Amino acid sequence: MARPFPYTFISCPCADTSSAPGLPTNRLSKDLSNITLSGQQQDPDSDDEERTFDPRSPRANYSLYPPEHLLYCEDCHQIKCPRCITEEIVCWYCPNCLFETPSSMVRSEGNRCARNCFNCPICTSPLSVTTLGSADNGAQNGPWVLSCGYCMWTTLDIGIKFDKPTNIRAQLTSLKNSQSRTSSEVKSPLANPISPDDLTTPAFHDEKSAGAPFSEERPVTVDLESRFSALKSFYRTQLTETSASPTDPLIGPELGGFYSSPSALNRIMSLYTTGIGNLHGAASKKPQSKPPLMREALTPAEGLHIPDPNTELAIIRKMASSDCGWDGLASVEQKVSQPPSTKFVDELRPLPILLRTKRSKRCKACKHILVKPEFKPQSTRFRIRLIALSYIPLITMRPLPPFPASSPPINLDALEPRRPVQFLITLKNHMFDSIRVTLATPSVTPGLVASKVTMLCPQFEVGANSDVWDEALASSGAQDPRSSRSGLDKVAEAGKIWDKGRNWTTVAMEVVPGSLPGGGEGGEDDETRIEDDEDVIEIPVFVRVEWEAEGGAEELAIRPDTRKQQEAEMVKRELAYWMVLGIGRITRGGYENRGRDVPTRTGYMLPHTSTEGSSGPCLILVYTILLKPVF
C-alpha cells in the first residue's frame, strides 16, 4: 500500500452483491446440490456471509477505500463508495475568474473559458494582460500582450499583439484564421478528370509535366477545426445528393434519419425479400440501375489537405539550426493541448483555461441526494453533504510504546517475526447517540504469511458526541485505577478497555507477526516466492455498530408528549462492514533465529547473546508484571 503505516481502509458492501440470480434449470443434480442432509434448502449466500474478508484478493482491490472517501445514504442505511453513486453537473465555471458558463455555451464553444483567462504554454501559469505603452497622463494605450509572471513568457515571443485588452480569445481566433488560407482556388489533380480512366491518359500526364497551378503554389494550411467543419458539410451534401434515388433506402442528411420513415423501412425489407426470391427464381429479373458514387473532397473549401513533401525536411533543418536547438523543441507535456502539428516552442499558443464543474451525487439504489453543493461558483459550502465519517466511528491506530522506556521505538516498516506487538485502536463517535461497537477478527490473518491477532476487548460502548462540559462534569466522578498510573505502567487486560473519553474509546490489540518463507530455523530457504506486499500485515476486521435513533414520528412532525412515548419511538439501527488495518511490514530474521518467543510485557526470559569475553549465551530476567496489581 502507498500509505504510511498504520492505515485504515473500509470495504464497501457493494462488492459483496452477487450477480444476476441463477436461472431455473431442469437438471435434478443441480437442484439437489443445494439441499442439506436435513432436507432444507441451503442458502447460497450463507457461505459468503460467513467467509472471512480477504484483503489480498483481486476483488478486494476494487472495494477498499479510505474512510474520508465514502458517503452514507440515510434511506438505504449503507455506506456508499464512488461506484455506488451517480454524479450530476450543477454548473460550469472558470476557476480563474469564477464566471459561470451556461451549459448551452459549453456545448457550442467548448469547455474552455471564453473570457480573458489563459494559461502559459510553457509553464501553465495564469497569464495577465499588460500594455506595451502608456500615455503621458498615465492612461494605458495599446498594443496589449499576454505575459507570464513566472517564466516571463509573452505573446511577443510568437509575434502576437492585441488591439484591445478585452475579448482576447476572439482576437486569437481571428489571428489564427487570417494566418491560414481558406480559399478554394487551389484544386487537386482529381478535380478535372471525370473518371478514373482519365488519370492514365497521355493528356493528363502532359498537363502534369507542363505544370499545373496546384503544384506551383504552396499547399494550403488549414487548422483542424476548419477542416473538420468543411469535411462534415461536404459529406453531408454528398449523402443528400447520392441518396436522391427512390430505390436507395439511405435518404436524409444523416445516416440514421431514414429509420423514422415507414416507407423507408418497407423499402429496406423489400431488399431482403427480393434477394430471397432471386435465390429461388420466383422474382422477375429487372434491370438494376447503378447507384451513384460519392466523390471525395477536391478543394480545400471542401476539407481537402495536400501535405507538402518538403515539410519534414524543413523541420529537420530547423531542428539542426543553431537558432532552434534542443531548447527550441516543445516537450510532450507542452504539446498535449496544442494542435498535432506543433513541434517547436515558437509555435505554442496561449491556452484558454479549462472550465470546472460543481457536481451533486445521488445514490444509485434510491436516488437520494448525498452531496449537493451551492450553486454559486464563489461559494465553497454544501447544502447537503452526507459523509460516512458522520455515521461510522473514526478509527485511528498507534503502536504501544515498548517497555522499558530505554528500548528502541517500534519500526512499523521492519517488524520482527514472532515478536508480539500491541496496538491501541481509538474509535471516535461523531453521532449524537451512544453506540455499541463489536470488533471481530480472525485468529490468523489470510495470506501466505499467517500472523496471529488477538482483540483484547471485542465489545465496548462509545459515548455520544455531546457537549464538552458533560465530559468535564463526568471527569469529577470515579476513575479507573489504571488510568491514574503513567502510560508505561498500564497493562492491557482481556475484556477491558484501555481508555475512554466523552465520545471516544481506546482498546488494545496484540499481533504476533508470522515468519516469511526462506527465513526458517537452520537457515533453510523455502521454495515459496513472496509476491509484492506479501510481507505487509493487513488484518480484516468486521465492525458492527448498534445504536438507537428516533423513529418515524420525527418524519411526520409528531413529537411525543411524555418520556415513555419518546422512548417507545426509538428505533434500533445497525450497521456492519469490513475494515482492513495495515499495521506494518515484516522483516526477515529477528527473534525467530535467536530462540524462543519473547513477549514485550510478560514474565518470560529474553534470550540474550553473550558479549565479548564470555564463554556462551546467558539468560537475563528482564521484567515481571503481575496480572492484577495490588493496591
Q: What is the mean pLDDT of residues 456-483?
A: 73
Closest CA to 435 of 545, 541, 544: 545
Which of 320-324, 565-569, 602-606 has the largest mean confidence?
320-324
Q: How many CB atoms lie within 10 A of CB 46?
A: 9
Confidence bin at 213 (pLDDT 50/70/90): very low
Nearest-10 Cα torsion for 455, 457, 458, 462: -130
DSSP state of 544: E
Higher pLDDT, 284 or 114: 114
Q: How many CB atoms lie within 10 A of CB 435?
A: 23
244: pLDDT strictly greater than 60: no
Give the cell for residue 380.
465553497
Question: Which residue has better confidence, 470 or 117?
Answer: 117
Q: Measured between alpha carbons, how far is 171 from 162 in angstroms, rounded to an integer?
A: 7
Give the lowest-confidence range in 259-268, 460-469, 495-504: 259-268
d(CA 335, CA 120): 12
Task: Give CA–CA dist 627/492, Å, rounded.
Answer: 10
pLDDT of 254 higher than 80: no
Half-sphere exposure of 296 (CA within 13 A, CB side): 11
> What are the residues whose beta carbons fall under 8 Å from the beta carbon of 539, sequence distance 6 or more?
441, 445, 451, 453, 511, 580, 581, 582, 583
**Among the residues of 253-324, which ranges form H helices?**
262-280, 311-320
Q: What is the pLDDT of residues 222-241, one digit of tens each?
A: 677 778 888 989 988 888 87
Tell me whether residue 190 is exposed, middle or buried, using C-beta atoms within 10 angstroms of its C-beta: 0 to 12, 13 to 18, 19 or more: middle
Q: Which CATH superfamily is domain 1-16+51-67+393-472+493-517+532-550+571-589 in?
A: Immunoglobulins (2.60.40.10)
Residue 144 φ then ψ, to 5° = -120, 150
What pLDDT score was predicted for residue 482? 52
pLDDT at 447 over 50: yes
- The number of angstroms, rounded, from the C-alpha of 306 to the middle of its chain's C-alpha atoms is 42
Listed by start position, the domains of the chain span 1-16+51-67+393-472+493-517+532-550+571-589, 118-176+310-352
- Model confidence over 303-321: pLDDT tens digits? 888 888 888 888 889 888 8
The yes-or-no verdict on residue 336 having pLDDT over 80 is yes
Q: Per mean pLDDT, which range of 61-65, 253-257, 318-322, 624-628 is the poorest? A: 624-628
How high is the pLDDT of residue 261? 55
pLDDT range class, residue 9, cuts 50, 70, 90? very high
Average pLDDT over every residue of 19-34:
46
Please say if the pLDDT value at position 204 is more than 70.
no
Separation between Cα atoms, residue 578 and residue 593, nearest integer Å: 35
Q: What is the mean pLDDT of residues 1-20?
A: 76
Contact yes or no for 60/11 (Cβ under 8 A): yes
Written as nine digits, the cell of 15 is: 462488492
CB 371 within 8 A of CB 84: no
Proportion of the chain above pLDDT 70, given as a percent: 63
d(CA 213, CA 306): 14
Q: Picking from 182-186, 198-202, 350-354, 489-493, which range would have the lowest pLDDT averaged per residue?
A: 182-186
Kindly report, residue by residue over 513-560, the tens digit of the pLDDT.
Answer: 998 886 555 444 555 667 788 889 999 999 999 999 876 544 444 455
pLDDT tens, position by position, 145-161? 999 999 999 999 998 99
**269-287: average pLDDT:** 57
pLDDT at 523: 44
- Residue 610 confidence (pLDDT): 36
pLDDT range class, residue 43, cuts 50, 70, 90: low
Strand segments, DSSP code E, in 429-535 are 435-440, 452-455, 459-462, 499-500, 504-512
Q: Are strands 504-512 and 421-428 parallel, antiparallel or unpaired?
A: antiparallel
Among the residue ranges 118-122, 491-495, 535-539, the one predicted with the least confidence is 491-495
**Stronger pLDDT, 611 or 454, i.e. the higher one:** 454
Answer whether 30's CB lies under 8 Å from 42's CB: no
| C-beta separation of 201 from 248 below 8 A | no
Does 395 or 300 have the greater pLDDT score?
Answer: 395
Average pLDDT for the chain: 75
Which residue is it, cell 489480498?
56
Q: Helices in 321-401 by DSSP H: which ranges?
A: 332-335
Minimum mean pLDDT range among 27-31, 262-266, 502-506: 27-31
Per-residue pLDDT at 66: 94
- Quote the CA–CA distance of 217 and 220 in Å, as a whole number: 9
- Residue 41 in this model has a pLDDT that exceeds 90: no
Which of 140-149, 362-371, 447-456, 484-493 has the weakest average pLDDT?
484-493
pLDDT given at position 83: 93
Range 161-188 average pLDDT? 71
Q: Please spell the DSSP secondary structure of 100-131, one letter per residue.
A: EE-HHHHHHH-SB-SSS-EE-TTT-PBEEEEE
- Look at residues 84, 87, 89, 60 and name the one whose alpha carbon lies nearest to residue 73: 84
C-alpha 195/C-alpha 214 separation (Å) is 20
pLDDT at 75 over 50: yes
Residue 414 identity (one-letter amino acid): A
Rounded to an integer, the average pLDDT of 287-295 is 70
Least confident of 246-255, 278-287, 420-429: 246-255
Query: Distance from first CA to last CA of the chain, Å, rounded?
Result: 46
Joined together, the cell numbers standing for residue 327 give 531548447
Cα–Cα dist 380/374, whole Å:
7
The pLDDT > 90 percentage for the chain reads: 35
Say yes or no to pLDDT of 490 above 60.
Answer: yes
